[in-house]
């Protein structure tokens, strides 16, 4: 294409684009080398492609009026320019900047006003760095924290208002803390606790008001403790009790036969 053709195509493209077009702003550059990207007509993926192909231009667009341009530019700009973007008005820009900065800068966004940023921050922090986020106002942020924080710190989340947070706690907390969760108001939390208790710890729960807890106990307490559960009000619990007692008796009878036969076998030798 001749220079005149290039100039004509460039002029037509600029005339077709609206105010704020990236292509317009590159008019001072060698525009024949850059793909035409119009802010008002393009998807965020195209901004990404543009800066991936032209990373040296990213610094110039960190203050662009369109947030998706700033967010895309932040992924390719020099790191030294990114700290200013931690205070950007848009959450996607703040995260784009934070994700490329050293870990200590992530800590500044633990109280970010947007939940999506805090969720992402919580997904990248560990240990004591997560402690301030245990009281985050958003339940999902606290769920992420409950998954990632150290086991000793989980005791501070045992009374969390969200049952799903408490259930995560019940799955991860040290065994010695489990009895404190046994009276949780949520049935799913109580069942999670029961599933982690030892057979001996389950003994007091044979008569729990929740039939699912009793069923768990019926399946794992020692056989000698099952007799007291034979008249349980729930048919599924009674059925499991009888099945275990029957299996236990059969196993016991088999053991006795072996014991009685053993001396006779020795005499025959």
Q: What pLDDT shows up at residue 145?
A: 98
Taking every pair of Cα atoms in the chain, the longest distance, rounded to a whole number of angstroms, is 114
Contacts (Cβ under 8 Å, ≥6 apart) of 264? none
In the chain, where the domains are located:
1-101, 103-196, 205-269
* DSSP per-residue codes, the chain: --HHHHHHHHHHHHHHS-TT-HHHHTTTS-GGGS----TTT--HHHHHHHHHH-GGGGGGGTT-SSHHHHHHHHTTS-GGGSGGGGG-SSHHHHHHHHTTS-HHHHGGGTT-SSHHHHHHHHHH--GGGGGGGGG-SSHHHHHHHHHHS-GGGGGGGTT-S-HHHHHHHHHHS-GGGGGGGTT-SSHHHHHHHHHHS-TTTTGGGGG-SSHHHHHHHHHHS-GGGSGGGTT-SSHHHHHHHHHHHHHHHHHHHHHHHHHHHHHHHHHT-
Residue 26 pLDDT greater than 90, yes or no: no
What pLDDT shows up at residue 215? 97
What topology does CATH give the domain 1-101?
A: 1.25.10
User: Average of pLDDT values for 12-35?
Assistant: 48
pLDDT tens string 202-258: 999 999 999 999 999 999 999 999 999 999 999 999 999 999 999 877 766 554 433
Residue 20 region by backbone torsions, left for phi larger than 0, else alpha for psi between -120 and 50, else beta: left
The pLDDT of residue 49 is 82
Cα–Cα distances (Å) from 208 to 57, 79, 182, 190, in that order, read 67, 59, 10, 11
- pLDDT exceeds 60 at position 86: yes
Residue 266: Cβ within 10 Å count: 8
Among 105, 103, 44, 104, which residue's Cα sits nearest to residue 75? 44
Find the mean pLDDT for residues 69-94.
94
**CATH code for 103-196?**
1.25.10.10
Question: Comparing 1-101 with 103-196, is the CATH topology the same?
Answer: yes
The pLDDT-based confidence of 57 (bands split at 50, 70, 90) is confident
Q: Which two tokens stand for residue 19?
A: 């105010």
Mean pLDDT of the 61-78 span: 92
Q: Tell me the CA distances in angstroms from 136 to 44, 115, 119, 130, one per residue in order.
A: 30, 9, 10, 10
Per-residue model confidence as pLDDT tens digits over 134-180? 999 999 999 999 999 999 999 999 999 999 999 999 999 999 999 99
- List, for residues 116-141, the tens digit of each pLDDT value: 999 999 999 998 999 999 999 999 99
184 pLDDT more than 80: yes
């Amino acid at each position: 294409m001749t220079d005149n053709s290039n100039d004509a195509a460039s002029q037509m493209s600029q005339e077709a684009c609206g105010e704020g077009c990236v292509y317009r702003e590159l008019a001072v550059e060698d525009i024949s080398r850059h793909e035409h990207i119009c802010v008002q007509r393009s998807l965020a993926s195209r901004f990404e492609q543009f800066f991936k192909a032209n990373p040296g231009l990213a610094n110039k667009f960190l203050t662009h009026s369109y947030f998706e341009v700033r967010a895309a530019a932040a992924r390719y700009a020099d790191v030294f320019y990114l700290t200013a973007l931690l205070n950007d008005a848009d959450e996607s820009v703040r995260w784009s900047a934070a994700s490329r900065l050293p870990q200590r800068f992530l800590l500044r966004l633990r109280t970010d006003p947007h939940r999506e940023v805090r969720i992402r921050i919580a997904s990248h922090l560990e240990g004591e760095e997560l402690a301030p986020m245990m009281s985050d106002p958003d339940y999902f942020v606290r769920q992420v924290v409950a998954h990632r924080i150290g086991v000793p710190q989980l005791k501070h989340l045992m009374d969390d208002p969200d049952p799903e947070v408490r259930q995560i706690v019940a799955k991860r907390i040290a065994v010695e803390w489990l009895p404190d969760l046994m009276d949780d108001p949520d049935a799913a939390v109580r069942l999670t606790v029961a599933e982690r208790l030892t057979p001996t710890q389950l003994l007091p729960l044979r008569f729990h008001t929740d039939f699912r807890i009793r069923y768990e106990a019926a399946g794992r307490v020692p056989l000698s403790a099952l007799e007291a559960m034979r008249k349980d009000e729930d048919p599924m619990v009674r059925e499991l009790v009888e099945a275990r007692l029957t299996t236990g008796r059969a196993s016991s009878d088999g053991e006795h036969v072996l014991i009685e036969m053993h001396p006779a076998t020795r005499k025959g030798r």
